[in-house]
Chain A
Amino acid sequence: MPVIEVQSLSKEYSGRQVLKDINFRVQNGEIFVLVGPNGAGKTTLLRILDLLEEPTKGRFLIDGAPVNYSARDRAALRRRIGMVFQQTVLFNMSVFDNVAYGLKVRGENGKSVEQKVRDALEVVQLAGFEHKNALALSGGEAQRVALAQAVVTEPELLLLDEPTANLDPRNVSIVEETLSRVNREGKTTMIMATHNMFQAENLAHRVAVLNEAMIEMIGTFQEIFGKPSRFLIDFARLENVFSGVSKVSPEGTSVIDVGEGLRIEATFQKVGNVTFYVPPEDIVLSTRQLVSSARNTFEGRIVQISDLGSVVKLRVRAGKEFIVQITKRSFNEMQLNVDSRVFLTFKASSVQTNLNFSQKEKTTST
């Protein structure tokens, strides 16, 4: 039985269509991730699910019962739902009182509140912060308190609007760990909006791609990534996807000019326009130029670091932007940081064209 069901939901703001005919079901205990660019309607959808806004058309059902947006008991319904906003908002009071607020408004008091708040702060790794003023916290700590505020009420449905935007890698991984744990232990259903494809890959049971007010596709991360639309490549920059003009070299490999002075060598033989993909885990990252059999070596600088727990994904600008995945241990040993100079090396055989792109791929073999 689906716990959450959205049926042909639309939202208009003074004539502008923000959400158009949204339909999906989220199963009990599922993590459902909304991905899409800014302005796609993710935030509005979450606000409607949190009953902060009314849909213009359509229905939102919890356990088969349609939500009545004009009902007087909206507060009672909201008490089954938790929400973490993108912009961290905390009350000007102690961390303890902030986290306890959700319980207090539900009429809970005394020892049980104290225990629950302590547990929630422990989960977000902020034990001992109880008596600090919430406004004196760093951005990452504040967002973790916001997460604790929502988690402490043990919601049946947890809504998360880009909960890790603007956080550093350490805080991102604490938030992600908390979410997995809450989902695993509490069987909490989650709907999360994110920009971060790695996060979608790590956490999502299913992903919905939201673009220009509509859901373009729904499926598992693999289902969607096995068949990326041009939009998804653009948005997610399904990283390491490049297009260029390919020529066959005398050695029998292809050399593809992708612009920015970048020529990538591949083992396939194709001539003309080609779109291809280099798996992040196939790229070797080094701080010095390697002498190896690999045909492709580029120099670049790290522009972004995403900590995913045991592995770290790096965005490296080397003419084009590459995504490289390395272990946390290597990352620490190499003492990498944003703007570090690095070399990327990968074999010609790692360059793949066997992605089933729906559009744009006009590979010509002559």
Chain B
Amino acid sequence: MINNTFLEEILNITLLSLRVSGTAVLIGALIGVPIGTILGLGRFRGKQFLMRFVDITLRSIVNTFMGLPPVVVGLVVYLLLTASGPLGPLGLLYTPTAMIITQLIMAVPIITGVTMSAVGSVERAIREKALSLGATDRQAAWMVLREARMGVLTAIIVAFGAAISEVGGIMITGGNIRWVTRTLTTAIVVETNLGNFDLAISLGVILLFMAFIINLVLTIIQLRGPRR
């Protein structure tokens, strides 16, 4: 029953899922962690009206985008990448890159938002302590981020969990092309529609198992977290 091609396809699908979501979250962390740290430190919360305005606006945008519906992101990215769209000449539609872009747009607000609240919850006293021990502003910010490391790790894991189980966005921008842009989630949708329940169930089990591993890691980290 189970032949090599079948296993090979499942492996291909799983690896693509990991590659797309992993890359999106990695790039998302490189963007989201610094922005979240700056917002969380409240460095924009100056006395000037403009600074306050920028701060409040950025926070609201981050919070809104944290709950962005994937299909809407997929639609927007599709419109940008489609042949007649502004980025059409790049020829990225229906490629893993298009899927990474889609998931990146969803991951950045999640990572930014969770990092922001983790950094914000580190007591102001930590930063002042670092400063009073002779740290520069940058060294002090680094210390605050270090104290918020559990929160930052949570941000990244939560974003990865959201990305790996996302289907609406990558279905639109990836196109669910076999061997090319088919991921665990998109494959489950298609195989279920086609009645290929054995494949759909196998993929579902793999996805469920990955979700379990993510939550297991998160729980272990939280249990080992600092006692305050």
- Give Cα A104 to B131, complex, Å: 13
Residue from the list B123, B137, B139, B226 in contact with A89, Cβ < 8 A: B123
Whether B228 contacts A135 by the Cβ 8 Å rule is: yes
With contact pairs A92-B226, A135-B227, A135-B228 given, residues A50 and B132 touching in the complex (Cβ less than 8 Å):
yes
Instruction: Verify B147–A78 contact, CB threshold 8 A.
Output: no
Apart from A78-B132, A83-B132, A85-B128, what 18 extra A-B contacts exist at CB < 8 Å?
A52-B131, A78-B134, A79-B134, A82-B132, A82-B133, A87-B125, A91-B129, A91-B130, A101-B130, A101-B143, A102-B134, A105-B130, A105-B133, A105-B134, A135-B226, A150-B132, A153-B133, A153-B134
Give B127 Cβ to nearest chain A Cβ, in Å.
10
Report, as a range, how many residues of chain B touch the other chain: 20 to 34
Contact with B along A89-112 (1 / 0, CB 8 A): 101100000000110011000000
- How far apart sit A83 and B135, CA to CA, in the bound complex (Å)? 13
Residues of B within 8 A of A87 (CB): 125
Residues of A within 8 A of B228 (CB): 135
Kindly state whether residue B136 has any CB partner on chain A within 8 Å: yes
Closest to B135 in A: A105
Between B128, B143, B227, the greatest number of chain A beta carbons within 10 A of the residue's beta carbon is seen for B128
Task: Give every chain A residue within 8 A of B128 (Cβ-Cβ).
Answer: 52, 85, 89
Q: Does A136 touch B at the CB level, under 8 Å?
A: yes
List A contacts of B146 (CB < 8 A).
91-92
On whether the beta carbons of B136 and A75 are closer than 8 Å, the reply is yes
> Count of A residues near B, CB < 8 Å?
22
Chain A residues in the interface with B (C-beta under 8 A): 50, 52, 75, 78-79, 81-83, 85, 87, 89, 91-92, 101-102, 105-106, 135-136, 149-150, 153
Q: What's the least CB distance linking A241 to chain B, in Å?
A: 37
Whether, in the assembled complex, B214 has its beta carbon less than 8 Å from a beta carbon of chain A, the answer is no
Known contacts A52-B131, A75-B135, A78-B134; A91 and B227 CB within 8 A of each other: no
Cβ distance A136 to chain B, nearest Cβ, rounded Å:
7
Q: Which residues of chain B have C-beta atoms less than 8 A from A89's C-beta?
A: 123, 125-126, 128-129
**A136 cross-chain contacts in B, Cβ below 8 A:** 227
CB-CB under 8 A from A85, the residues of chain B are 125, 128-129, 132
Contacts of A102 in B (CB 8 A): 133-134
CA distance in complex: A339, B102 (Å): 69
Q: Number of contacts between A and B (CB, 8 Å)? A: 58
B125 to A, closest residue via Cβ: A89
Question: Which residues of A sit under 8 angstroms from B136, Cβ to Cβ?
Answer: 75, 105
Please, how many angstroms separate the alpha-carbon atoms of A251 and B138 in the complex?
A: 77
B52 to chain A, nearest CB (A): 16
B residues lining the A interface (CB < 8 Å)? 123, 125-126, 128-137, 139, 143, 146-147, 226-228
Least CB separation from B122: chain A residue:
A92
A55 to B123, CA, bound (A): 23
- How far in angstroms is the closest Cβ of chain B from A31? 19
**Within 8 Å CB of A135, what residues of B?**
226-228
B124 to chain A, nearest CB (A): 10
A91-B147 contact given A105-B139, A135-B226, CB 8 Å threshold: yes
Known contacts A89-B125, A89-B129, A91-B126: A106-B226 contact under CB 8 Å: no
- Of A91, A105, A106, which is in contact with the most chain B CB atoms at under 10 Å from its CB? A105
| CA gap between A81 and B128 in the complex, in Å | 13
Shortest distance between the CB of B48 and any CB in chain A (Å): 15
Decide: B131 and A78 in contact? CB cutoff 8 A.
yes
In the complex, the answer to whether A75 meets B134 with C-beta atoms within 8 Å is yes
Contacts of A149 in B (CB 8 A): 133
Give the shortest distance, in Å, between A84 (CB) and chain B (any CB): 9
Cα A50 to Cα B130 with chains together (Å): 12
A153 to B133, CA, bound (A): 8
Considering the chains assembled together, what is the distance between the CA atoms of A264 and B125 in angstroms? 49
Instruction: Pick 17 A–B contacts, CB within 8 A, sort by A.
Output: A50-B132, A52-B128, A75-B134, A78-B131, A81-B132, A85-B129, A85-B132, A89-B125, A91-B143, A91-B146, A92-B147, A102-B133, A102-B134, A105-B136, A105-B139, A150-B133, A153-B134
Asked if A101 contacts B125 (CB within 8 A), the reply is no
How far, in whole Å, are A85 and B125 apart by their CA atoms in the complex?
9
Residues of A within 8 A of B227 (CB): 135-136
Q: Top 6 A-B pairs ranked by shortest CB distance?
A: A79-B134, A102-B133, A83-B132, A89-B125, A75-B136, A105-B135
Give complex CA distance A97, B187 in Å.
50
A79 / chain B contacts, CB cutoff of 8 Å: 134
Pair A106/B126 contact, Cβ less than 8 Å? no
Most B CB contacts (10 A, CB to CB) among A75, A106, A149, A153 go to: A75
CB closest chain-B residue, reference A75: B136
| Alpha-carbon gap, A75 to B227, bound state (A) | 30
- B130 proximity list for chain A (CB < 8 A): 91, 101, 105
- Cα distance A85–B228 when bound, in Å? 18
Distance in Å: Cβ of A332 to nearest Cβ of chain B: 35
Contacts of A150 in B (CB 8 A): 132-133
